[in-house]
Amino acid sequence: MTDRPPLLLRPARPDDVPTVVELIRALAAYEKLEAECFADEAALRGHLFGPRAFAEVVLAEVGGAAVGFALFFHNYSTFLTKPGIYLEDLFVRPEHRGRGAGKALLSHLAALAVARGCGRLEWSVLKWNAPAISFYEKLGAVPMEEWQVYRLAGPALTRLSVSGSNDG
C-alpha cells in the first residue's frame, strides 16, 4: 500500500474560483454537456463571495491539489417548515474516485445540514449515470420517483418574465 497524503475538505475562498470553474468544466465534460457549460469566473466569484452569496463550495484536496468539489445552496421545505440543502454539483476527478472523496463531501454536507437545522439534503442525478446512482443508493439515498423535474431557461424564462399574470 502506498502512502497517500490525507484528504482535506475546506470551504472555497475567492482565490479558488479558477479551480472551481475548472472542476465545473470537468464535470460538464464527464456529463457530456460541455456545450451547455458557460461557467464564468467573474460571475461565480460574485455569486459565491459577493454581497449576497447564492451558493457555497467545499473543496476536497489531496496534497494541496483540488480533487473534487461540492457546490450547494439552501432551499426551503414548506411541508417541514425547515431549510434544506440542495447539492447542485458533486464531482471528483476520475483518477481520485473510489478513495473516499465523494463520500467525505456528502458526509460533510449531511453534517452541515444537521448543524443548520435542515430537514433534508437533496440533489438530481442524470438517469444514465449508473455509477453515481449506485454510489448514492449505497449511502442510503432514495430516488424521488414520484417527482418530475421541470425547468424554465433561456427564451422561455424571458417570455414568462415579461408576459405578466394575464395569461393563465
What is each CA distance from 77 to 84, 86, 119, 140, 167, in whole angstroms?
Answer: 7, 11, 8, 20, 28
Looking at 31-146, list the stretches that DSSP marks H as alpha helix, in order from N- to C-terminal side.
41-49, 101-115, 130-138
Catalytic residue (choose from 30, 76, 86, 136)? 136
- DSSP 3-state of 76: strand
Q: How far apart are CA 36 and CA 28, in angstroms?
A: 8
- Residue 82: beta bridge partners? 77
- Residue 60: beta bridge partners? 9, 68
> 136 catalytic, yes or no?
yes
Measuring CA to CA, which residue among 142, 143, 73, 135 is closest to residue 104? 135
Active site residues: 136
